[in-house]
Amino acid sequence: MKDIIKVTVSAKQVDFGRDSADALAVGIFSDVSGMDKLVRMLDKAAGGAMARVLTAGDFKGDTGSCEVVYTGAKSGPKRILLVGLGKKKEVDADVLRKAASVVARRAVAAKVGKLTLALQKAATRVKPEVAGRAMAEGAYFGAYRYDEFVTGRENGRLRKLAVYVGDDSADAVTALRKGISVGVAVGEAQSYGRTIANRPGNVINPPTLAAEARKMAAAHKSLKCTILDKKQLTAKKMGGILAVGSASASDPRFIILKHTPNGRVRKGAPKVAIVGKAITFDAGGISIKPSADMDQMKLDKSGGVAVLATMKAISELNVPLNIYGLIPSAENVLGGSGYRPGDIVTTYSGKTVEILNTDAEGRMILSDGIAYAAEQKCDIIVDIATLTGACMVALGSHKAGLMSNDDGLLDDLKKAAEESGEKVWHLPSGDEYADEMKSKIADLKNIGGRWGGASTAAAFLRQFAGDARWAHLDIAGMDLFAKATSFAAEGSTAFGVRLLTTFLMNVAAGK
Ligand code: BES
Ligand code: ZN
Ligand code: ZN
């Protein structure tokens, strides 16, 4: 895949007064008046230009804000970017990550190709290693845009952004560098995922997604890729995936990625599966969706793409854990060969499901993916899916729904969410919800009652996980930005890549 924008991030020791970057970004707090040591020094060299901006009150230091100051100085940086870090006591890795995104996005827009970040100098509460990782992830996130199919108009735009995290302390540079190496792997995977997810349904369908997975795996030594096509799905009786994919001219696929790390795995480490819903377009099937915003359903593959990109990241980081990345993929459209309301489908697990709504298709393909993970004797299964509009109604676009059958796993995912800045909120999925999913003429039905749709969907999935510790991330509403923000382009967010990578790294480390 061609880079949409080539981002590089590295650490370097700098003398801030002499740094020759096109722009130097420094952090400013909203609740601290006066300048810190670094800003004061830069201000002096710039003949008081920054003090003028700050005292005029044009820039308040709120998160998400950024103001350019032209120094006019003969040496040192030409531009200083004042970047809001919000309240001093609230600064954490996520504040730095977002701030780095804002700066990178600004830099790309202004065609500033070389950028030095010194945000960590203000954020002394964040450990340099953590700060380095967060800023690298943020730089990738902010620099990203999706214009693969725009011809001509975008020719003059920036194609390369070199980001340096600058520090005057050699010790800090060493620690920053360590964090940056992780942040770069995660950032690259995230951008990769955003591009695959942003590609429309006429470009990415189950076979082309499978081909992309094969290509990615071929470039990563730890990954083995097996793809089940329609014939093999039929032979294996993966009835959930087959039913959902039955109307489409593009046949369904089941993508199986297996990561075997180079070197030793911690004794007693669990075998983990991450399972992602990859509906390459969700028209709803016979239970057709309303046409408004239906185009956004090209992003209904976001869970599967998050799994694909996470596998890339953990392979590059050589995470010492045996990990399955499972991606059931189908296109949910209408056609004479499609599945219908009233059908009874036998899933891979052997459980039968009465279909009452063909638009509740995600759980059908996931049931086969989760059952496969259970069959492989995975100790932990985490699935991720743009599963229900109900989750979006409950949580909006700020947090993903998290359901689980295990309190320890819940805590571990909450911790990973905190560290990665990809937020989650625990919702229930117990037996009272599972009861709503019982059918009179089959083992299960694929929809529950009118209320609590995110929880009934999760309670359905839970029943395919066997004895494994299982968790479910409902990322409906988190998969895309409908409009651009100061820190992100519109379109896919690749939500889940940072969260899952962080989670898997923690599990590998026994943390
Ligand atoms: N892909 C949708 C869920 C979705 C909706 C994701 C909006 C992102 C934004 C899913 O397949 C779906 O259609 N779910 C139905 C389930 C219902 C029929 C029980 C829904 O949420 O309406
Ligand atoms: Zn649907
Ligand atoms: Zn869907």
Query: What is the model's pLDDT at position 76?
Result: 84
Query: What is the model's pLDDT at position 83?
Result: 98
Query: What is the model's pLDDT at position 145?
Result: 94
Q: Any idea which ligand is nearest the CA of 296? A: 1
What are the φ/ψ torsions at residue 86 (nearest 5 degrees)? Answer: 70, -150
CB 199 within 8 Å of CB 209: no
3-state helix, strand, coil in the chain (%, to 5): 40, 20, 40
Rounded mean pLDDT, 419-445: 98
CB 198 within 8 Å of CB 191: no
Specify the ligand 1 atom closest to the Cα of 359: 13
DSSP three-state, residue 369: helix
CB 284 within 8 Å of CB 359: yes
Per-residue pLDDT tens digits for 139-161: 999 999 999 999 877 677 899 99
Tokens of 127: 């450990």
Q: Is 289 a catalytic residue?
A: yes
Output the CA 422–ligand 2 centroid distance in Å: 24
Q: Any idea which ligand is nearest the CA of 474? A: 1
Output the CA 347–ligand 1 centroid distance in Å: 20
Work out the percent of the chain whose per-residue pLDDT is above 70: 99
* The dihedral sign for the CA sequence 188, 189, 193, 196: positive
Among candidate residues 258, 363, 462, 498, the one labeled active-site is: 363
Q: What angle do CA 302, 303, 308 make, to 5 degrees?
A: 90
Nearest alpha-carbon partner for 51 in 41, 66, 64: 41
**Treating both helix axes as pointing N-terminal to C-terminal, what angle do 497-509 and 170-198 enclose, rounded to 10 degrees?**
130
CB 5 within 8 Å of CB 145: yes
**Treating both helix axes as pointing N-terminal to C-terminal, what angle do 302-316 and 497-509 enclose, rounded to 10 degrees?**
40
Cβ of 386 closer than 6 Å to ligand 1, yes or no, is yes
What are the φ/ψ torsions at residue 345 (nearest 5 degrees)? Answer: -110, 130
Query: What is the model's pLDDT at position 154?
Result: 67
CB 477 within 8 Å of CB 492: no
CB 21 within 8 Å of CB 73: no
- Report whether pLDDT(215) > 80: yes
Distance CA 194, CA 441 (A): 42
Q: Which amino acid is at 156?
A: G
DSSP three-state, residue 271: coil
Rounded mean pLDDT, 428-456: 98
- Report whether pLDDT(135) > 80: yes
**Treating both helix axes as pointing N-terminal to C-terminal, what angle do 453-462 and 362-375 enclose, rounded to 10 degrees?**
30
Rounded mean pLDDT, 300-312: 99
Rounded mean pLDDT, 52-68: 93
- Global pTM? 0.98
* The dihedral sign for the CA sequence 53, 57, 62, 66: negative
Distance CA 150, CA 145 (A): 11
Q: Is 363 a catalytic residue?
A: yes
Nearest alpha-carbon partner for 186 in 443, 496, 440, 484: 496
Distance CA 286, CA 359 (A): 8
For 147-161, 268-282, 405-419, 435-449, which range has the lowest pLDDT when averaged over its residues?
Answer: 147-161
Rounded mean pLDDT, 365-390: 99
What 8-state DSSP symbol labels residue 323? E
- Report whether pLDDT(483) > 70: yes
Cβ of 388 closer than 6 Å to ligand 1, yes or no, is yes
Cβ of 400 closer than 6 Å to ligand 1, yes or no, is no
